[in-house]
Structure 1
Amino acid sequence: MKKKLVALAALSAIAGAAQAQSSVTLYGIVDVAYRYTTNHGPAVDNGQSLSKVIGGGMSQSRWGVNINEDLGGGLRALANLEQRFTPDNGALNGSGTGQQFQQSWVGLQSSSLGRLTMGRQYNVLFDVTTSTFASFKYSPYIEAYKPEVAMALGVRNDNMVKYTLSLGGFTGELQASAGEGSDTTFVKSMGGMAKYTFGPFAVGGGYLQREGANATTTDLKAESWIIGGAWTSGPIYLSGGYAESSFDQGVPVALFLVGTGADNVFSYTNSPLAGVNVESREMYFVNLNFQVTPALNLGAAYWNLEDTFYSPLSGSPQGDFMAFIAQYAFSKRTDAYVGLDYTKVKGPISFTSTSGAVNNADDRTGFMVGLRHRF
């Protein structure tokens, strides 16, 4: 009887140890805000305002699963699935269309050799921006107003293999996506990023190229690079940088503007073909955050963006973007926020109305107040 009890205890210990070596973690964010914006009407009355409840003010609402298994010898197996949704109406993935998972990848991580992941995941430009010189210290960007995403060539890329290596204050990444024989979408990619943190300073940069096609032409390229830095001293966080993109003639640049914010929707006014005749795009930005108290954080950000057309289109569409945020943390998981943003455009570009038509307005002001919970 004693031998049976000892054997049972040993098996229980082994099972417990095996269970402790792997974990499945459910995580998520639920963020709902009221948002008000000006100049949202049609061309005949562009001064009309728009009020709405949005399912993602500071952060895109999401839930996900992280999987982590200890394989021994400093090797771990990793996987992630992440589904986005809008809690104001219960829709999946924002609009209920497109990919059902915004992230879906599996990988291996070695304590000495780095990490290799495969699947749909954040690209190197997004990684270096949000981890090194993000617009806001405690929320990398504003979900409802994020002009910096216009330089990230899609934020997440499909079919990606990504390698990450961290050594001390240095982190480097390489990514590549196979073309998979597609001649209608921009699925092929290659790029890299590097960042270095030393004391209160962090600097980094990245480059990404994506290849694809429009309806009639193959082998079109879009490429972007970014460089920036940040300085943190006590309650002060200051960051900034510069980014530049170039596009082959015929690249539908609207593809790379998806997700720049609920109200950053523009139309070129000098030609219906302008959206596939953007030659280059550049942006510079500066951000300042101040931690007033352990619970209250204030932030301000400014971005300037300019497009250049291929000839014979004329003009250089430009935009000035400004945002101010106050966040108050009730706890580590729950916070409330108030935001004010202002956009001014000039040149052959205009906002669109709620119906998607050009409304001839050249400025727009937004206000939002929201509540966010992380779990």
Structure 2
Amino acid sequence: MKKAALALGILAASTSAAWAQSSVQLYGIMDVGLRYTSNANAGSSQKQVIPGGMSQSRLGINVNEDLGGGLKAIANLEHRLNSDTGTVAAADFWRQSWVGIQSSDFGRITLGRQYNILFDIYTSTYASFKYSPYIEAYKPEIGLSMGARQDNMVKYLIESGPIRAEVQVSAGEGTGPNKSYGGLLRYAEGAFSVGGAFLQVTDQLGFKAKGWTAGGAYTNGPLYVNLSWATNKFDQGGILGTAYTAGLLGPVLNAAANDVKKRDMISAGFTYQLTPQLNLGAHYWYAQQTHYSAALANTKSKGHYAAIVADYAFSKRTDAYVELDYTKHSGAVRFANGAEKRGGSIVGLRHRF
């Protein structure tokens, strides 16, 4: 009887030790903003409560398990929600859903739905703002990330000192634009970070979209500055002409479905931490687009975008912000209501947990 009790005690202790090497973390962001938009509806203004000004609200689960020998099992599930109504933010309930293995020597491999490499290089290397990679309600740069995520992806990441390399491949299952391949290279040391990436996505009819981006950032005490360039090229026809050119801010810079030939963007901005609580930021984006249709063959549609943000941190987890933005178009593109210009502002509150 004593031997049985001793065996059970050892088994219980070893089981507890094994569980102690695993962790499941629940995390999230709740962000709600009050937005004013001029020229929103047939020239009239619009006032809204929006589900995220600086960040889209989300709820996620991170899983880590130490497998020993420098190996770790990792997994992530992340759901995006409309914090103003409590509804689902997108058709895909899990905006991220992947599992992987990470080695201290050989890097990390992940499988499932996850961020693509264009999004990775933007947010990790030359994010538009220091305290928030981009403005969720006003994000022209993310319009050139070709969907930001891909399904059925295998991604491999390896780092050596200041150098990070990453590749992605998607098999192209189903009817969506899911077949992809690409890579990125990043160098970050001290105050400087630079990098670039390439991604090609193919739809089920064989039509392709290609994206390139490169840029860098510099941090010196309270000052953060960044500069980047990006381009997208589209085959004429197929579903990619609609899926990835639906606009930078809704129906923007998209004269007609499948008519976009090439889109280029340069952007620059800075963030300055005025006090330990107060951050000030500004960014400017310039986009230019060419078209396939004969009527627009010699037309270059253009977009000018600008935003300024003041963010006040009450704590490490809770902040309030004020944002102002301005958009101007020319050429063959307009907002859905025919307007060429539009202004906006947001006052919001965000909590991270």
- Taking structure 1 as the reference length, what is the TM-score of the superposition? 0.89
Q: Is the 8 A contact 2:224 2:272 kept in 1?
A: yes
Q: In angstroms, what is the RMSD of aligned CA positions?
A: 1.7
Query: How far apart, CA to CA, are the structure 1 residues paired with 2:55 and 2:144?
Result: 19
1:220-239 maps to which residues of 2 (within 5 A)?
Answer: 220-239=207-226
State the identity as a percent: 52
2:74 corresponds to which residue? 78
1:1-375 maps to which residues of 2 (within 5 A)?
Answer: 10-42=10-42, 46=43, 48-92=44-88, 94=89, 97-180=90-173, 182=174, 184-213=175-204, 218-251=205-238, 252-257=240-245, 260-261=248-249, 264-266=250-252, 268=254, 274-314=256-296, 315-352=299-336, 359-375=337-353
Write the deviation string for residues 108-128 of structure 1: whole angstroms up to 9, x where unpaired: 111101100000000000001
Q: Is the 8 A contact 2:253 2:302 kept in 1?
A: no
Q: CA deviation at 1:145?
A: 0.3
What letter matches 1:137 in structure 2? K
Query: How far apart, CA to CA, are the structure 2 residues paired with 1:101 and 1:292?
Result: 37
- Consecutive unaligned residues of structure 1, counting only runs of 5 or more, are 353-358
Write the deviation string for residues 287-344 of structure 1: whole angstroms up to 9, x where unpaired: 1100011111111000011110124131221100001011111111111010000000
Query: How far apart, CA to CA, are the structure 2 residues paired with 1:245 and 1:293?
Result: 39
Write the deviation string for residues 129-178 of structure 1: whole angstroms up to 9, x where unpaired: 10000001110000000000111010010010000001111111000000
- Consecutive unaligned residues of structure 2, counting only runs of 5 or more, are none
1:356 corresponds to which residue? none
- Taking structure 2 as the reference length, what is the TM-score of the superposition? 0.95
What letter matches 2:349 in structure 1? L
Q: CA deviation at 1:11?
A: 3.8
Which runs of structure 1 show a deviation greater than 2 angstroms over 4 or more consecutive aligned residues?
Answer: 1-13, 251-254, 257-261, 264-269
Counterpart of 1:40 in 2: which secondary structure?
strand
Counterpart of 1:49 in 2: which secondary structure?
strand
What letter matches 1:50 in structure 2? Q
1:355 corresponds to which residue? none
Q: CA deviation at 1:63?
A: 0.3
Counterpart of 1:266 in 2: which secondary structure?
coil
Higher mean C-alpha deviation, range 151-160 or range 3-12: 3-12
Query: How far apart, CA to CA, are the structure 1 residues paired with 2:148 and 2:242?
Result: 14
Alignment coverage as a number of residue pairs: 350
Counterpart of 2:118 in 1: which secondary structure?
helix
